[in-house]
Structure 1
Amino acid sequence: MAELEHIEPVDKVLVVMAHPDDVDFGVAGSVASWIKAGSEVSYLVVTDGDAGGFDPAIDRSDIPLIRRGEQKKAAEAVGVSSVEFLGYKDGALKNTLDLVRDISRVIRSFRPDRVVCQSPERNLQRVPSSHPDHRAAGDATLDAVYPYARNPFAFPELLEDGLEAYIVKEVLITAHPSPNAYVDVTDTFKDKIAAILCHHSQLPDPDSVEAMVKSWLSQGARYAGLGDDSLAEVFYKVTV
């Protein structure tokens, strides 16, 4: 097994995810550690998660507002104050030029050192992590990083809005089938769990969450070559 690279904090991180709660299951432990190290982190959530939930007593028209509120509380749990929603339809997400433009807009505005996104590749070891929306959001984010956000001649309407081209140098991809980098989240595990538990509408059995997530992160720590009591979130790191 190849040795995984330890990921260091950077000044600014943009996390782009398909649904509310994706960021918390996927990267909230890392976000909490970066925030504690002084990073500025912003979330961009592509859909409102309107196809989510488990309780038929909740009016479906209420779900988007509920899920936006849950995501904002989850962000606060790890120290993130900036959360933006694009409002695309949950369950119908495609990598389109409109989506790439919308993500490019945020990249050019926030100007992050690092972007975190979901894997455009299907992970057959963890099929639920490869929801079609996740893959579409990851694919569109990578297209935004290269070439669109950095190309001054792409999306001239962004230039008209004063958003100059911007080069993202590093991308971390979650749920990739072949991770090559990690963040030790042993000390921020409780922060991650607190963030996940904010998503009440998605958790029919909240008491099972901590053990389930700990098992995933223990596996990540083993993959990273850390000690038995360690926990890690793993990524595929791309230098652009």
Structure 2
Amino acid sequence: MNGFPGSAPGRVLAFAAHPDDIDFGAAGTLATWAVEGTEISYCIMTSGDAGGFETAGREDISARRNAEQRAAADIVGAGEIHFLGERDGFLAVSHEVVGKAVELIRQVRPDVVLSMHPERNWARIQASHPDHLACGEIVTRAVYPAAENPFAYPELEQGGLHAWKVPWLVFYGAPRERENHAVDITAQVDTKLEAVRVHASQHPDLPGMESAVRSFLQENAARHGLPEGTSAEVFHVVGVNTPATIAGF
């Protein structure tokens, strides 16, 4: 899409509101890139403390969900995970959290930033948890203009974390009218489902979940004109600093 790399990017920084969001939204694509040598980092913004279905053991749910995310990332082929520890259900767009995202972007210096989408999906509101929307807005503000402006968050520049121009911002969980890129993940569907299954604290009906995910992936492929029998993850790709973009406009 608009020159979006056909080959695997060198470095990817993937943001999510909760543990398991990345695996539902983009694990197949990330696993595909990892096999091709992409260096992948995660940032999980909340502790997931409001997740799960059991009343017992609530004091351990955040640690359990973080461990699940680490195990799932290992399956996908991701490396470092950053846990911001914001309260689940209360993620807010603030300069403090935007600054944390800017700091990570300047540390990792990714070719692609992956994020949840900031727009509500009225066709499937379950994709638009308020934390998801906040994650998308936080990351968008961090990517442009803050990460590339040396005078934004000057303490980072003074500490040696210099401005970084992100080439591509890629959203998962986008409303259908925003989708403009599909990735054939047929070869990685089993890897994706293995990663999703790790989040056992979130699955009261494992067979139902797997059936639904397979169906969604096949519908994605059909909607984007891929061959019958294939599976796809779909994205809203935004070029931020590419040969086709003009800085300052």
> Normalised by the shorter chain, which TM-score bucket?
over 0.9
Aligned to 1:158: 156
Question: What are structure 1's unaligned runs of at least 5 residues?
Answer: none
Per the alignment, residue 92 of structure 1 pairs with: 90
1:13, 1:114 within 8 Å by CA — same for their partners in 2?
yes
How far 1:159 moved relative to its partner?
1.6
CA change 1:173–1:6 in 2 (3 A) is same
**Contact 1:49 / 1:63 at 8 angstroms: preserved in 2?**
yes
Please, which of 72, 75, 84 is the counterpart of residue 73 of structure 2?
75
Partner of 1:193: 193
Code of the residue aligned with 2:184 in structure 1: it is D
Q: State the percentage of identical aligned residues.
A: 43
Gaps of 5+ in 2: 241-249
On the 8 A contact 1:179/1:236 being kept in 2, the answer is: yes
Q: Partner of 1:104 in structure 2?
A: 102
TM-score (norm 2): 0.92
Q: Distance in 1 between matches of 2:94 and 2:7?
A: 32
For 1:149, what is the secondary structure of its paired residue?
helix
Paired AA for residue 126 in structure 1:
R
Please give the root-mean-square deviation of Cα atoms over the aligned residues, in Å. Answer: 1.5
How far residue 46 of structure 1 moved from its aligned partner, in angstroms, is 0.4
Does the alignment pair 1:49 with 2:55? no
CA deviations over 1:203-227 (Å, ceiling 9, x no partner): 1111222211011111110122111
Distance 2:5 2:229 in 1: 17
Alignment map for 1:101-140 (pairs within 5 Å)? 101-140=99-138
**Is residue 2:30 matched to residue 1:28?**
no
Distance 1:7 1:205, change over 3 A: farther
- Superposed displacement of residue 156, structure 1: 1.3
* Equivalent residue pairs, number: 237
Q: TM-score, normalised by structure 1?
A: 0.95
User: 4+ residue runs of structure 1 moved beyond 3 angstroms?
Assistant: 5-8
Residues 107 and 161 in structure 2, CA contact (< 8 A), matched pair in contact too: yes
CA contact (8 A) 2:115 2:172 kept: yes
Distance 1:122 1:95, change over 3 A: same
